Chains A and B, each alone.
Chain A
Amino acid sequence: MTRVFLDAPVLRTGLDRALRGDADPATLSGHADHPPRMGFFTDTSVCIGCKACEVACKEWNAIPEDGIALTGMSYDNTAGLGADTWRHVAFIEQRKPLAGQEPGVDHSSVNVLDMAAAGSGTAPQAAAMTPTTAGPDGAPAGTGDLRWLMASDVCKHCTHAACLDVCPTGSLVRTEFGTVIVQEDICNGCGYCIPACPYGVIDQRKDDGRAWKCTLCYDRTSVGQEPACAKACPTDSIQYGVLDELRDRAAERVERLHGQGVADARLYGHDPDDGVGGDGAFFLLLDAPEVYGLPPDPVVTTRDLPDMWRHVGLAALSLAGMVVGALVGRRG
């Protein structure tokens, strides 16, 4: 075990440097002459919830169907990312205004938040209606407030990818584009990567035991094609490109939305200084990440590993010292 962790390239060649965010993950992984880092910018403010990304992803990657069941969570019957869902569109009905939008509905005669019992966290089975989240400060906002958020989620292709760090077989690798992929012919199904992911993305397929997740369509990107989901997205909610350019574009977009009064607009996963060193797939959200089922402050789960190993080493040394001391003492 120890050997594996210490052999992981990121750890060996400069985790500290990487954690400062001043190096390209492909370079750190030993790709000497690599193309610029590529990624996704998913602008949820223009998502129309068509799920073309989900279907295109499954078609291109030949992912099996994974359950034909009504969830009751608005129009989201996919429920979340998993071994057999690499793109997932969340639908959130909210009693909240979208700046400048006139939704036209009037529910003044009932307390819909009471009916929805709590919020987006309510189990649909227990909810009296499609889970609805509250307005600002949890109070029911004006009677005419309603917005329907849609957002396509995907593997984040973290700068510091814990899944890759913990993979004992080298199945998970960093590509020359800086993305993270599983090599299915190498994966032995150990499952270490699954709890390692701070976003709960990578998952084991029930019938074969191996781990599966978005490859950012490595087979397409390596021949100059954009990933299937981005190709299928009709409104360019999913944009594929050079990560630095996407970050610039996203910053402009947020600024523009703020100018239009959409004060809630924010970027998620764009910041190289965040707990995972920034995501290769980042998002423009219209509410807090929790509303979309995303962790508010993800941290690479292997962040403390070097420290932990240092502690382990020290502990082992002192233990050895104690043993030696004890033996010496006995002799003495």
Chain B
Amino acid sequence: MPGLGTSFGRGGATTYQQDLQNSDCIVIEGSNMAECHPVGFQWVMEAKARGATVIHVDPRYTRTSALADIHVPLRVGTDIAFLGGIINHVLQNEKYFREYVVNYTNAPNILREGFQDTEDLDGVFSGFDREGRTYSTGSWQYEGAQVQAASGKRDQQYEKLQEKHSRGESAGSGGPSGAEGRPQRDETLQHPRCVFQVLKKHYARYTPEMVEQICGIPQELFLKVCRALVDNSGRDRTSEFVYAVGWTQHTVGVQYIRAAAVLQLLLGNMGRPGGGIMALRGHASIQGSTDIPTLFNILPGYIPMPHAHADEDLDSFIEGERADKGFWTEMRAYTVSLLKAWYGAAATPENDFCFGHLPRLTGSHSTYETVHAQREGTCTGYFLLGENPAVGSANAAMQRLGMANLDWLVVRDFSLIESATWWKDGPEIESGELRTEDIGTEVFFLPAAAHTEKDGSFTNTQRMLQYHHQAVEPPGDARSELWFMFHLGRIVREKLAGSTDPRDRPILDLTWDYPTKGRIAEPEAEAVLAEINGYDGEGRPLASYEQLEEDGSTACGCWIYCGVYADGINQADRRKPAKEQDWVANQWGWAWPANRRVLYNRASADPDGKPWSERKALVWWDEDSATWTGHDIPDFDAHMSPWHRPPEDATGGEALSGVDPFIMQSDGKGWLFAVAGLADGPLPTHYEPQESPFDNLLYGQQRNPARQVLPPGDHNRYHPTGSAPGSDVFPFAVTTYRLTEHHTAGGMSRGLPYLAELQPEMFCEVSPELARLRGLEHLGWATVVTARAAIEARVLVTERMTPLTVQGRTLHQVGLPYHWGGNGLTTGDAANELSHQSLDPNVHIQEVKALTCDIRPGRRPRGPARGALVREYQERAGITEQTGTEI
């Protein structure tokens, strides 16, 4: 989550759902919280009962809108224009929280002279390499300093930092000098190159008129939202943003979140009760799956995965990635402790703690590149664990065609999902594009145990680990993921035993000795949790990541989880009822880091350490005991006084001052301007989606110039966009989403009768106006067409879908839930047949929230006629392999 990570220092929700009750104004945007997080939504209802204003910004009027005070329908893919409009409103009308902004953000920091804004370059920032479609970010740095991002693309500083640190070593200074390391600040915010002025200039043209023209939001409605936010921010009041994948699934998704971060910093809402940014994750342990990642580009605790730089060793890796100030300075201790957890006695100072065993990145290896690698034949085996890409991933046909070119495929799930049966009954079999007898992929289906059938922890959307215990034995051959991975590793190691091949060392050196129990030899999940927590040289559990050492005397599987097994007690298993503790309830489960519930909560107090107001008190400096105290656990050095100022040559945590609430940041401040860490710009900028019915009104640059555009090939063709010829063949915007009644790609819900009967059929939602325009009948059938596919859906004509007026034209938007596929008790076409594979460049997430399409009455053609219809559309729109791949 580099949007939050680069802005504040950590890639996780900055607060917790229960804290929503303390908010005075809640903006839910890019999230349909009542439908997708109904349990957490109780806290929105609680806030509402206490008088908060609830605003839902969404293309559709949903169950969330029904309970909101204000619903703001907007054109899909225009959230940055909307948020930028609010930022401009706050700046132009001097509504920002000045004392907060000056002290806690990088607003006063002065940028280098070479920086050029999108205002100067018509939609791109300085440093853009048109050839490689990437930014070199040197010109985004502060004057007189070279700082590192706390998250995101830290490797982009690699060359610079190598140079700097080797120079430092040769001069014998052992680190950056004060002059080099301290950004220059102008606390009057007047310097023309200070972040504040740059921000002001960047958003000056995001006026209410512009918002109306781009987003289709009437000015009066837009200003109503501005007023609600401004009136509910400041010393006495706080506002909170809630988002989910409605923001992330765009070619400029990370910058959506950045825009909210900029706004919340300007309004002074970060680190405070009822404030912050609540990132809602897609399902049960998604936060956990980035903390201890199933991602290709990070290691546990957001340590970057090393790149294949020549001769890179542990020292050069650390120097290339770490920061000079803030807690990321200790990256070596985190990395060495991780290697000790993985490689135990085999990891020694002499062999760089087995750093060489780690894989090296040679580029992006996201799920979408993997699919292309499958088609090219370079990826020949595939594990799917709780994943149904034949339904749930963008361009479902590409997913299946990739799998059809494998040697082997292992699917572990509760039931025979579409990703396990495409070879006999997938859409390509029906169309004749694939024949079962021609497919060489050997498919293994292994039944999975449910969470009730195994021990383990979930890390929920608010970074909180909650432990659960097995209730029953898994039936038949069903096994937990832990069982599968442990025994697979055990068997592989047995087969490799005695090998002298160096490439087998990374497997043979692993500590792989978890105790097992019971009839099926289930590994002890608590033993894994204890290893993740970490232990010292004597095997005693660690209590805090501050105890981690870089000499190999500590082991820790994930530094941010250090403390979850403090004192040998499973802290994630704590269940003290809410009634028996205060409203922060930090004795329920355990949240990273260090069980803090509201991150950056030092900012809930003023620079002198006093709460901004009694109403919004959270943590404060207690003069008598000379410690930070309060309702939450302070996210700050407990003994650092508000008036502490570090010596010029201090580094790491020591270099933070008493007014640096963002302790993971290399300058201790919230980043209005992301000096480093992002692939597509230091400031959020409105770009049209990959496919849009409109031109970018703000810049000549139509789309995110750094977005990833995967090869169109035969199956991933892009639409003409804006005013380009042929774009009117796909005149409508379409967005995909989920319903309360089903779960993601349906593997956990379409097979259950009690859920299937509640949403029994794939449908599309259209407005009465669009229904009339296209002759669609309520409960009849419609065919939705893109250059990738044609799918059919039952039609729901509803007033909840509203046409918008955008740039003087009427725009219709189509809604498509994406839960359906060919298997289960309720079946239907998958919405992801329609989507393409153009991605956000930071996190490689697909753009499925904003596409264009055509819609027509009736069912889709069967057999080869289906593909013929798509080709007819492609021809009519003049689509070639080049279409949509322009910068």
Q: Determine the distance from Cα of A235 to Cα of B47 in the docked complex, in whole angstroms.
A: 12
- Residue interface mask A44-74, B partner, CB < 8 A = 1: 0010111110110011000011111110101
Distance in angstroms from A236 CB to nearest chain B CB is: 7
Q: How many residues of A contact B (CB 8 A)?
A: 51
| Central interface residue in B224, B772, B798, by most chain A CB within 10 Å | B798
- Least CB distance from B64 to A in Å reads 8
Contact A125 B38 (CB under 8 A): no
Query: Does A112 touch B at the CB level, under 8 Å?
Result: yes
**Interface pair A102/B34, CB less than 8 Å apart:** no
Interface segment among A144-152, A265-273, A306-314: the answer is A144-152
Would you call B753 an interface residue if the criterion is a C-beta within 8 Å of the partner chain's C-beta atoms? yes
Interface residue B794 (Cβ < 8 Å from any Cβ of A): yes
Q: In angstroms, how far is the closest chain B Cβ from the Cβ of A47?
A: 9
Q: Which residues from A are CB-within-8-Å of B221?
A: 102, 104
In this complex, the member of A66, A103, A127 whose beta carbon has the largest number of chain B beta carbons within 10 angstroms is A103
Residue A105 at the chain B interface, CB threshold 8 Å: yes
Q: Which residues of B contact A64 (CB under 8 A)?
A: 753
Cβ-closest chain B residue relative to A65: B753
Known interface pairs A100-B69, A102-B221; A66-B757 also in contact (CB < 8 Å): yes
Complex CA gap A64/B741 in Å reads 17
A115-B797, A129-B798 are contacts. A110–B71 as well, Cβ < 8 Å?
no
Is A17 at the interface (CB under 8 A from chain B)? no
Asked if residues A103 and B71 are in contact (CB atoms below 8 Å), the reply is yes
- The docked-state distance in angstroms from the alpha carbon of A293 to that of B483 is 51
Contact yes or no, B799 A93, CB < 8 A: yes
Q: Is the CB of A129 within 8 A of B778?
A: yes
Interface flag for A101 (CB, 8 Å): yes
Q: Is B769 a contact of A110 with CB atoms below 8 Å?
A: yes
Is A109 interfacial (CB-CB < 8 Å)?
yes
Interface string of A179-192 (1 = CB under 8 A from B): 00000000000000
**Most B-side CB within 10 Å, residue of A46, A75, A112:** A75
A148 CA to B67 CA in the complex, in Å?
9
Contact of A68 among B65, B68, B756 (CB under 8 A): B756
A112 with B67: CB separation less than 8 A: no
A78 and B757 form a contact (CB under 8 A): yes
Judge if B755 is at the interface, Cβ distance under 8 Å. Answer: yes
The answer to whether B802 and A105 have CB atoms under 8 Å apart is yes
- B745-763 interface bits toward A, Cβ cutoff 8 Å, 1 = contact, 0 = none: 0000000011111111101
Cβ of A258 under 8 Å from chain B: no
Proximity string of chain B (60-72) to chain A, C-beta cutoff 8 Å, 1 when within and 0 when not: 0101111111111
What chain A residues lie within 8 Å of B778 (beta carbons)? 72, 124, 127-130
Question: Given A52-B38, A93-B798, A115-B797, are A102 and B70 neighbors across the interface (CB < 8 Å)?
Answer: yes
Please tell me if A171 contacts chain B, counting CB pairs below 8 Å.
no
Partner among B41, B756, B779, B825 whose Cβ is within 8 Å of the Cβ of A235: B41
> Does A72 contact B38, Cβ atoms closer than 8 Å?
no
Do A50 and B779 touch (CB < 8 A)? no
A213 at interface, CB cutoff 8 A: no
Within 8 Å of chain A (Cβ to Cβ): is B185? no
* Least CB distance, A92 to chain B, in whole angstroms: 10
Cα distance, A52 to B758, chains bound together (Å):
10
- Scoring B residues 675 to 708 as 1 if CB is less than 8 Å from chain A, else 0, what string do you get? 0000000000000000000000000000000000
* CB proximity of B572 to chain A, nearest CB, Å: 23
Minimum CB–CB distance from B471 to chain A (whole Å) comes to: 14
Residues 126-155 (chain A) with a chain B CB within 8 angstroms: 127-130, 132, 146-150
Minimum C-beta distance from B820 to chain A (A): 12
| Smallest CB separation, B448 vs chain A (Å) | 21
Q: A106 on the interface (CB 8 Å rule)?
A: yes
A157 within 8 Å of B (CB atoms): no
Measured CB to CB, the closest approach of chain B to A255, in angstroms, equals 14
A95 on the B face (CB < 8 A): yes
Q: How far is the CA of A118 from the CA of B716 in the complex (A)?
A: 45
Contact yes or no, B740 A102, CB < 8 A: no
Answer whether residue A234 sits at the interface, using C-beta atoms and an 8 A cutoff: yes
Contact A46:B758 (CB < 8 A) given known A104-B802, A130-B778 = no
CB of B803 within 8 Å of the partner chain:
yes
1/0 contact string of B770-804 vs chain A (CB within 8 Å): 01100001110000000000000010111110110
CA distance A79 to B768 in the complex (A): 23
Shortest distance from the beta carbon of B877 to any chain A beta carbon, whole Å: 27
Tell me whether A110 and B754 are in contact (CB under 8 A): no
CA distance A69 to B769 in the complex (A): 26
A residues within 8 A CB of B126?
A: none
The digit string for B461-495, where 1 denotes a CB below 8 A from any CB of A, is 00000000000000000000000000000000000
Chain A, residue nearest B802 (CB) = A105
Q: Which residues of B contact A68 (CB under 8 A)?
A: 753, 756-757, 760, 825-826
Residues from chain B with Cβ under 8 Å of A105 in the complex: 61, 71, 73, 799-800, 802
Complex Cα gap A102–B53 (Å): 11
Instruction: Please give, as numbers and ranges, the residues of chain A lying within 8 Å of B34 by CB-CB distance.
Output: 48-50
Residues of A within 8 A of B796 (CB): 72, 130
Task: Tell me whether B741 and A107 are in contact (CB under 8 A).
Answer: no
Q: Determine whether A301 belongs to the interface, using a CB cutoff of 8 Å to chain B.
A: no
Contacts of B779 in A (CB 8 A): 70, 72, 124-125
Q: What is the bound-complex CA distance between A104 and B794, given in angstroms?
A: 26
> A77 interface residue, CB < 8 Å from B?
yes
Contacts of A106 in B (CB 8 A): 802-803
What is the distance, in angstroms, from A285's C-beta to the closest C-beta of chain B?
A: 15
* B768 touching A115, Cβ below 8 Å: yes
Is the CB of B887 closer than 8 A to any CB of chain A? no
Given A59-B754, A64-B753, A75-B739, 17 new contacts (CB under 8 A): A46-B45, A48-B45, A50-B35, A50-B38, A58-B754, A66-B757, A68-B753, A70-B794, A75-B759, A77-B757, A77-B760, A102-B70, A103-B65, A104-B73, A129-B797, A148-B63, A235-B38
The 8 closest A-B pairs by CB, nearest first: A65-B753, A129-B797, A105-B802, A148-B66, A50-B38, A70-B761, A72-B779, A68-B760
In the complex, 26 of the A-B residue pairs with CB atoms within 8 angstroms, ordered by the A residue number, are A48-B41, A51-B741, A65-B753, A66-B757, A68-B756, A69-B760, A69-B761, A70-B763, A72-B778, A72-B796, A77-B757, A101-B68, A103-B71, A105-B799, A107-B769, A109-B769, A110-B768, A112-B768, A115-B772, A115-B797, A127-B778, A129-B797, A146-B799, A146-B800, A148-B65, A235-B45
